[in-house]
């Protein structure tokens, strides 16, 4: 798994959101973006992570940061997740996990002694020019927003 680091170009993507709209990273050129990868919509850690991003909307908007969540879930499951928790930002469907692979957020995971392939919970802060201003792998769900805010305010 190739890991990205600060200063690298953020891999481009175009993915459907929970409403079926195609969203491109390039749509956000000139803005900062908090992009986070989560394993599965409406599971405990993913809900904690997504709700923390929702709850930080005001702070992130003041800092000029757009929010994007990304998982392998289909758009319909993403929409149900958004509706249930009133998340209010694009949740992108990376069904073939190609974007997760490009970001180094897809790999081998071990849970309960069993090894499988899946999303490695990660978050990235993309600057206005499309470069990474922050990259966090194996991030704790509750650390996604504080990591980004710290990177923005140092």
Residue with the bigger pLDDT between 147 and 153: it is: 147
Query: Which of the residues 46, 105, 120, 133 is marked catalytic?
Result: 46
Measure CA 147 to chain center: 13
Residue 112, pLDDT score: 81
- The reply to whether 29 falls in a domain is yes
Tens of pLDDT, residues 32-61: 999 999 999 999 999 999 999 999 999 999
- Rounded to an integer, the average pLDDT of 126-141 is 96
pLDDT at 12 over 90: yes
Question: Would the pLDDT of 111 be above 80?
Answer: no
Q: Would you say residue 7 lies in a domain? A: no
| 118 pLDDT above the threshold of 70 | yes
Q: Residue 145: which of 28, 67, 93, 47 has the closest Cα?
A: 67
| 54 is a domain residue | yes
> Interior CA angle at 55 toward 13 and 127, to 5°?
35
On the question of pLDDT at 110 being above 90, the answer is no
Asked if pLDDT for residue 133 goes beyond 90, the answer is yes
Domain contains 142:
yes
Instruction: Give the number of domains in the chain.
Output: 1
- Residue 109: per-residue pLDDT: 84
Per the rule left: phi > 0, alpha: psi between -120 and 50, beta: everything else, 139 is beta
Q: Is 51 among the catalytic positions? A: no
Domain with residue 41: its CATH number is: 3.40.30.10
Provide the whole-model pTM.
Answer: 0.94
- Domain assignment present for residue 5? The answer is no
Domain that holds residue 143: 14-153
Domain membership of residue 134 (yes or no) is yes
In a domain, 108, yes or no: yes
- Look over the chain and give the mean of its residue pLDDT values, rounded to a whole number: 95
Query: How far is the C-alpha of 132 from the C-alpha of 33, rounded, in Å?
Result: 9
Average pLDDT over residues 73-81: 97
User: Quick one: pLDDT band at residue 1, thresholds 50, 70, 90?
Assistant: low
Residue 1 belongs to a domain: no
pLDDT of res. 114? 87
């Amino acid at each position: 798994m190739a890991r990205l680091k600060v200063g690298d170009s953020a891999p481009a993507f175009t993915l459907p959101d929970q409403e079926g709209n195609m969203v491109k990273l390039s749509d956000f050129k000139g803005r900062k973006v908090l992009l986070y990868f989560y394993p599965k919509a409406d599971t405990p850690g993913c809900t904690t992570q997504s709700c923390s991003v929702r709850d930080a909307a005001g702070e992130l908007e003041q800092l000029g940061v757009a929010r994007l969540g990304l998982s392998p879930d289909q758009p319909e499951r993403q929409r149900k997740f958004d509706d249930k928790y009133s998340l209010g930002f694009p949740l992108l469907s990376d069904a073939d996990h190609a974007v997760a692979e490009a970001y180094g957020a897809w790999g081998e995971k071990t849970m309960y002694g069993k090894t499988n392939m899946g999303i490695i919970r990660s978050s990235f802060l993309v600057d206005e020019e499309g470069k990474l201003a922050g990259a966090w792998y194996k991030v704790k769900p509750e650390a996604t927003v504080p990591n980004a805010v710290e990177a923005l305010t140092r």
